[in-house]
Amino acid sequence: MQNIERILAESAQKAIAELYTKSIELADIVIQPTRKEFEGDFTILVFPFVAHSKKKPDETANEIGAFIKNDLKEVEAFNSIKGFLNISITKSYWLDFLKLISTDKEYGFVQPAKEAPTVMIEYSCPNSNKPLHLGHVRNNLIGFSISRIVKAACNNVIKVNLINDRGIHICKSMLAWKKWGENETPASSGLKGDFFVGKYYVLFDKKYKEELKTLIGQGLSEEEADKKSLLMEEAHEMLRLWESGDSEVIQLWEMMNSWVYEGFNQTYKAMGVDFDKVYYESETYLMGKEIVDDGLMKEIFYRRTDHSVWVDLTHDGLDEKLVLRSDGTSVYITQDLGTAYLRSQDFKFDKLVYVVANEQEYHFKVLFLILKKLGYTWANGCYHLSYGMVELPEGKMKSREGTVVDADDLMQEMVDTAREISKELGKIENFESEEAEALYKTIGMGALKYFILKVDPKKKMLFNPRESVDFEGNTGPFIQYTYARICSLLRKAKEMGFEASIGVTDMSGKEKDLVRKIVKFPAIVKESANGYNPALVANYTYDIVKEYNQFYHDYPVLKEENQEQRSFRIALSQQVGQVIKNAFWLLGIDVPERM
């Protein structure tokens, strides 16, 4: 069944062609939901067509409206107000649509064919020297949700991660453990592997600052002290030894990274995200060096007297960019070049979406431009999904100072808060303890995910854990509770022998509003996929839940005496529940059948 808005747009396009002998694009026809104070379902903005009709807006609207009504059996009536054409759709259209989708458990999803575009989505990308934190939580949730939404919009999707497992930051943790670790391990310390290694990253920074303070106290400037730092010099020497393949350094690196990977996997599982392939910077930076050599031969890069390699992008409105250090060690852009190339060889993607915070916008402008200059045609499909940073009521987080909110701690806090608030409100009744704990996790993680995903990724956001676990307002638990209420209603209907069916020929205004919301879902999924914006799906879900709760408050369902009307309202409730479940699945959020 074709989307009604497209049907209207095509008819309006035909009207303008026949009435005014003017050809226009479908994209030029603006169709919006009619405002509640006016009669109609959809409104067409007529002002752009006045130049073609050479008539007043109302006269133009009436002419186009009369044409559309005559052209489409789905149109019941129309009216015009000051250049706005309001169109009413027949109730039979809405009811036929509801019948059509009533058995579709994947309503809103379009399964991709083999020949559908391939979209690779990169997210997470942690450094292997510390645990995942709140910023990574937003990154992972956006990336995972977008991967589901893009797939639901008829694309083949590949989810990838890149572990930044080499570089000076990794060497800092390694050096600190080597100097002060005394052979301590995660097992002996009782710490999760990524937390254990992160402890030594913080320790390095502490010792480094103490050294700087001593040097500055001896009369050196901060810049001079940094250059004289023996600790930092040792860290850089360890990086050089790693890149030269020193067996002792490699062995230490492998051991410490293995601790971190085990910790990461536990966190990913708890968060409910996964990947189709994981790349490692240690395996891609060498390809990056080869690409730099190739760029030197093509004179895209140039070598300075200190042997460092650069690219001059000043003619493109950017700066000069270092791509290889003077000692031959690589930088972030080096491995990013190698990783992008390897991915293009592995998967032949049509689009590569990098989910990375907006602090890296310049980096990706440089990366994409270099890839294009190197002649990689697939570089035109590279896109940076730039998202805003997450802050807490206390302000920004700092990894080196150990003031971050770790993902594991945050997730546990969310479950604990869900438990506390659920008990306060008496939401858990007749639940076994194990079932109750599973529900606390569903509510807590749902609250966390929804609170983050309902915000447009491009916007900076303030995260308040307790505020997110609220059973009223635009929150995950409020939507989950509504879904559980619908499930309860459907169970009771079955117990009472009531069936769900769509045999009515009439609907109330609120019932029609709900059906219109349901019809809108596939378009929301497509719009969300096109804009890489899960917030559209999240806020749509809240809107339909509000609409349903108003309907549920105003109209009896199981107590409705008219059998036909009761069956319709049960069917309508069932379909709203399916839409909530499907929408929340796209967001990576579970919905409980009992609360």
CATH number at residue 201: 3.40.50.620
Are 84 and 177 members of one domain?
Answer: no
Pairing of β 156-163 and β 277-280 = parallel
For helices 476-495 and 433-453, angle between their N-to-C axes, nearest 10 degrees: 130
d(CA 322, CA 337): 13
Q: Which residues of the chain are modeled with pLDDT < 50?
A: 397-402
Q: Which of the 8 DSSP states describes residue 272?
A: T
Query: Is residue 114 in a domain?
Result: no
pLDDT of the residue at 64: 96
Say which residues have a Cβ less than 8 Å from residue 481's Cβ, sequence separation at least 6. Answer: 427, 471, 595
- Whether residue 141 contacts residue 132, with contact meaning beta carbons closer than 8 Å, is answered with no
Are 334 and 194 members of one domain?
Answer: yes
Are 261 and 230 members of one domain?
Answer: yes
Report residue 111 as tokens.
């399964």
Query: Is residue 399 in a domain?
Result: no
Are 128 and 260 members of one domain?
Answer: yes
pLDDT of the residue at 399: 43
Strand order in the sheet with 320-324: 302-303, 309-312, 320-324
d(CA 220, CA 213): 10
Query: Which residue range is the domain that position 565 belongs to?
Result: 414-586
Query: Is residue 407 in a domain?
Result: no
Report residue 151 as tokens.
């797939």
The torsion defined by the Cα of 160, 164, 165 and 170, in degrees rounded to 10, comes to: -160
Are 47 and 154 members of one domain?
Answer: no
- Whether residue 527 contacts residue 535, with contact meaning beta carbons closer than 8 Å, is answered with no
- Whether residue 473 contacts residue 418, with contact meaning beta carbons closer than 8 Å, is answered with no
Single-letter amino acid code for the residue at 153: A
pLDDT of the residue at 433: 81
Are 293 and 426 members of one domain?
Answer: no
pLDDT of the residue at 503: 87
Query: Is residue 100 in a domain?
Result: no
- Whether residue 249 contacts residue 237, with contact meaning beta carbons closer than 8 Å, is answered with no
Are 290 and 175 members of one domain?
Answer: yes
Alpha carbon 86 to its chain centroid, in Å, reads 35
Are 373 and 288 members of one domain?
Answer: yes
Cα R_g (the chain), whole angstroms: 29
Are 174 and 73 members of one domain?
Answer: no
Are 215 and 77 members of one domain?
Answer: no
Q: How many helices (H) and strands (E) does the chain have?
A: 21, 14
CA angle 388, 392, 398 (to 5 degrees): 80
Query: Is residue 149 in a domain?
Result: yes
Are 244 and 357 members of one domain?
Answer: yes
Are 442 and 371 members of one domain?
Answer: no
pLDDT of the residue at 483: 97
Query: Is residue 533 in a domain?
Result: yes
Report residue 457 as tokens.
């990724």
- Of the candidates 89, 110, 136, which is a domain's last residue? 89
- Whether residue 3 contacts residue 522, with contact meaning beta carbons closer than 8 Å, is answered with yes
d(CA 5, CA 484): 32
Domain count, the chain: 3
Report residue 317 as tokens.
């409105």
Query: Is residue 109 in a domain?
Result: no
Strand partners, 42: 33, 87
Report residue 406 as tokens.
């770790």
Q: What are phi and psi of 33, to 5 degrees?
A: -60, 140
Query: Is residue 101 in a domain?
Result: no
d(CA 35, CA 199): 57
d(CA 590, CA 581): 8
pLDDT of the residue at 400: 44
**Largest distance between two CA atoms of the chain:** 91
Label residues 514-549 b or e (16+ Cβ within 10 Å = b).
Answer: bbbbbbbbbbbbbbbbebbbbbbbbbbbbebbbbbe
CATH number of the domain bearing residue 499: 1.10.730.10
- Whether residue 292 contacts residue 323, with contact meaning beta carbons closer than 8 Å, is answered with yes
CATH number of the domain bearing residue 79: 3.30.1360.70
pLDDT of the residue at 3: 82
- Of the candidates 68, 89, 110, which is a domain's last residue? 89
